Structure 1
Amino acid sequence: MTTIDREFIGIPSPAVGRAGAGGHPLQGIYHTPAGRRPRTAFIASHYNVDFSEHYMATRMAARGYGFLGWNTRFRGAEHLFSLDHALAEIGVGVRLLRDRGVETVVLLGNSGGGSLMAAYHSQSREPNIRPPYGRSKVFEPALHLPPGDLMVFLAAHPGRPEWITRTMDPSMVDETDPNSVDPELDMYDPRHGGSYSEDFLARYRAAQIERNHRLTAWCKEQLDAARDRPARDRIFTMGRTWADPRYVDASIDPSKRPTPLCYFGDPKRANYGVMGVGMVNTMRTWLNMFSLQESDCVATPHLARLDLPTLVVQPDADSGVFPNDAQGLYDGAATADKEFVTLPGDHYFAEPDGARDAVAETLAGWLSGRAQP
């Protein structure tokens, strides 16, 4: 059995230095085969989830590759996220790998990290992201990003704005009252059943987009009104974000996923709970991350610049990333060198037994003709 070295890394960000209590803003763990300096290494990062001990890290290191589970300073701080700062901080991780002798850097976009890594590659090829609402310039270090060499999408979402919109509950008529409901748009109302009509779905999807646009307009109005005030931004909550009809109706975008189910269990209960993506935001961050109109945290435009060899791996029983999402990533990738693989597993390949090893073997097999460990 291969022995794995784990190197903890804590370093400053281009934006902020070490905290007074001692913590560094950028932290991660570099996994390598013991005593070796791999020529090929992965870097995995996310908008806010801790990827330092990612489930693929030791598996890829056991197969001869390096794996940097890399956290920007927004780990656990989604409500403060800024895309240009995050990309600059991922760039620090890529440079770190190059400094350790890595010749081939594999950008691993897992879950929400898919659109983040797509944006990173896109920005490294041609600076294109917009500054956050209310700022005139993109953070300078984000204009000079070191490129990666290969791209892997693993159970990846199409982008934060698209994902949050498709899971928003459009029946919420009052953003300040999580119990407010328009029954005509309530997917959990028994009258609509667990198998939805095309008419209902069309009205439902349109109302989800309308809710996103409504929140965008409100955030802009609030920020514009406060531009010359002492408090120029503030925290707000966004309720009811577990309401994608695919959680309940298995005939929509069919797969082997169980229903009803979302990442927090029973979707109706989760929808009225306080756990979930995007529940707490500043207005500026909401525009930067979730707005269909303002956010660059989307994969689609960035995929048009994706000229790297690309692998898309989709679990066959994912309860939150669906076959059409993965197909969209594959179809949208501009590169001619791309492959799409569906493997048994849930979102994190925690089940069935051996699912994560099957992913590792798939990644290693794909890399074998493209890079040396």
Structure 2
Amino acid sequence: MITRELLAIPMAGGGRIDINSGVARLSGTIWATLWRDDAAPRGTVVLVTHPASNFLGHYALRDLAELGVAAAGLATRYVGNDTTLIMENCVLDIGAAIRHLRGLGYERVVLVGNSGGGGLVALYQSQAEHPDLTATPAGDPPDLTAADLPPADALVLAMAHPGRAQVYTEALDAAIVDEAEPFARDAELDMFAEKNGPPYTSDFLDRYRRAQLDRNRRITAWVLGQLAALADRGHPASSSEGPSPDDLPFVVHGTAADPRFLDPAVDPSRRKLTTLWGPAWAANFQPATLGHVTSLRSWLSQWSYDHSRANAPRCLPKVSVPVQVVYGDADCAAFPSHARQMYDAIPHGDRELVEIRGADHYFQGRPDLARRMCEHIVDWASR
């Protein structure tokens, strides 16, 4: 009989107030759901995670349990709200979950990073095997060299991209010339301007990709300047105004402008020409899409191309355990080139690259393909 259990997992402190809810902060708890066959021994468990998505009801959990392995879906402390997300704290949450599962009697843990979880689980395993990060990119706790981070026994990067900072930069609107005015645009770098395509020329794509990276770096330079200014203007804790604020929120416009959303010849696949939130022009500005609101410190940890550590191609060379990369050839968010980039970064031969033909990012309308992905994961976990 397949059962589902809610797991209350002790949460390690992150050293800052970065969760809005006092109830969540003071509870000292993160949550996971565990699906398992009551008749099966507690041998292997698959832990599925993401930096901010609510995976308590992840679509793969029941299938994995029915196929013979226990499956847990983890919600980090930042579930549903990544405006102040610190990747290094997410690493602490994964460590707490693995320790908890081992305490329940599971001998082997297969860590699955789904979607934006790919870069995170690669960061986790690299730090579990070779800890070297003593602070966040902003210089804050946690010190991961002093954390208890039990290594996973294998990794799966499922429908995953290399990391939030990379995929975010690949979708930054290069035409925005004033961060406060999203419709003040450089016509020569506007992928939505008919004169530029689609189809896009190689010259336009080269200029566009360089401009995206330049924009990410301009924002990062501004962030570092803002943090320095906050430190300089701070009031001493003994003053009537209390401690100085050391972080601020800000808005980033135009975060769904990857040329792959409009031109099928860029990174060819069977995908539909859209985004996870609908047509690209509207998604580019909708508040609910990726990374429109962030804090200074979270930007460095989560979105800065040069500062964020949660990048699978950079982390995987330090990983010794088996790694499976699973991708869909109809995915409009994690592309075939992403899968190949991560696979090529694995430094050993205990690796596997699996294509699921016809699968989009969420297997919409295709539960049979989601089941196929789970079959591949279970097969990998059993080897």
Alpha-carbon shift at residue 144 of structure 1 (Å): 2.8
Counterpart pick for 1:14 among 12, 15, 24: 12
Correspondence list, 1:297-312, <5 A: 297-312=310-325
Correspondence list, 1:3-42, <5 A: 3-15=1-13, 20=23, 25-42=29-46
CA distance in 1, matches of 2:146, 2:172: 31
8 Å contact 1:84–1:142 — kept in the other structure? no
Identity of aligned residues (%): 35
Alpha-carbon shift at residue 298 of structure 1 (Å): 1.0
Matched, 1:237 2:251: yes
Alpha-carbon shift at residue 162 of structure 1 (Å): 0.8
Look up the SS of the partner of 2:318 in the other structure: coil
Matched, 1:48 2:62: no
Alpha-carbon shift at residue 142 of structure 1 (Å): 5.9
Alpha-carbon shift at residue 362 of structure 1 (Å): 1.9
Match of 2:301 in 1: 288
Correspondence list, 1:222-371, <5 A: 222-228=226-232, 229=234, 230-259=244-273, 261-344=274-357, 345-368=359-382, 370=383
CA distance in 2, matches of 1:323, 1:20: 41
8 Å contact 1:10–1:24 — kept in the other structure? no
Question: Can you list the C-alpha shifts for 1:28-67, whole angstroms capped at 9, x where unaligned?
Answer: 1111113544300011111111111111111011112111
CA distance in 1, matches of 2:222, 2:61: 41
Alpha-carbon shift at residue 293 of structure 1 (Å): 1.8
Compute the TM-score of the two structures, normalised by the length of structure 1: 0.93
Assess, with a 3 A threshold, how the Cα gap between structure 1 residues 94 and 105 changes in structure 2: closer, same or farther. same
Question: Can you list the C-alpha shifts for 1:198-257, whole angstroms capped at 9, x where unaligned?
Answer: 000000000000000000000000000111422221110111100000011101111100
Match of 2:241 in 1: none
8 Å contact 2:132–2:144 — kept in the other structure? no
Match of 2:98 in 1: 94
Assess, with a 3 A threshold, how the Cα gap between structure 1 residues 221 and 32 changes in structure 2: closer, same or farther. same
Match of 2:181 in 1: 177
CA distance in 2, matches of 1:135, 1:208: 26
Alpha-carbon shift at residue 360 of structure 1 (Å): 1.6
CA distance in 2, matches of 1:142, 1:343: 40
Q: Bigger shift: 7-16 or 293-302?
A: 7-16
8 Å contact 2:171–2:257 — kept in the other structure? yes
Quick one: which amino acid aligns to residue 35 of structure 2?
Answer: H
Match of 1:220 in 2: 224
Assess, with a 3 A threshold, how the Cα gap between structure 1 residues 20 and 203 changes in structure 2: closer, same or farther. closer
Look up the SS of the partner of 1:191 in the other structure: helix
Compute the TM-score of the two structures, normalised by the length of structure 2: 0.91
User: How big is the alpha-carbon RMSD for the aligned residues of Structure 1 and Structure 2?
Assistant: 1.9
8 Å contact 1:310–1:335 — kept in the other structure? no
Q: What is the count of residue pairs matched by the alignment?
A: 366
Question: Can you list the C-alpha shifts for 1:74-108, whole angstroms capped at 9, x where unaligned?
Answer: 11221121222211111010011111111111010
Alpha-carbon shift at residue 116 of structure 1 (Å): 0.3
8 Å contact 1:247–1:262 — kept in the other structure? yes
Quick one: which amino acid aligns to residue 98 of structure 2?
Answer: V
8 Å contact 2:83–2:295 — kept in the other structure? yes
CA distance in 2, matches of 1:351, 1:142: 45
| Structure 1 runs not aligned, ≥5 long | none
Match of 2:111 in 1: 107
| Structure 2 runs not aligned, ≥5 long | 16-20, 235-243
8 Å contact 2:35–2:65 — kept in the other structure? yes
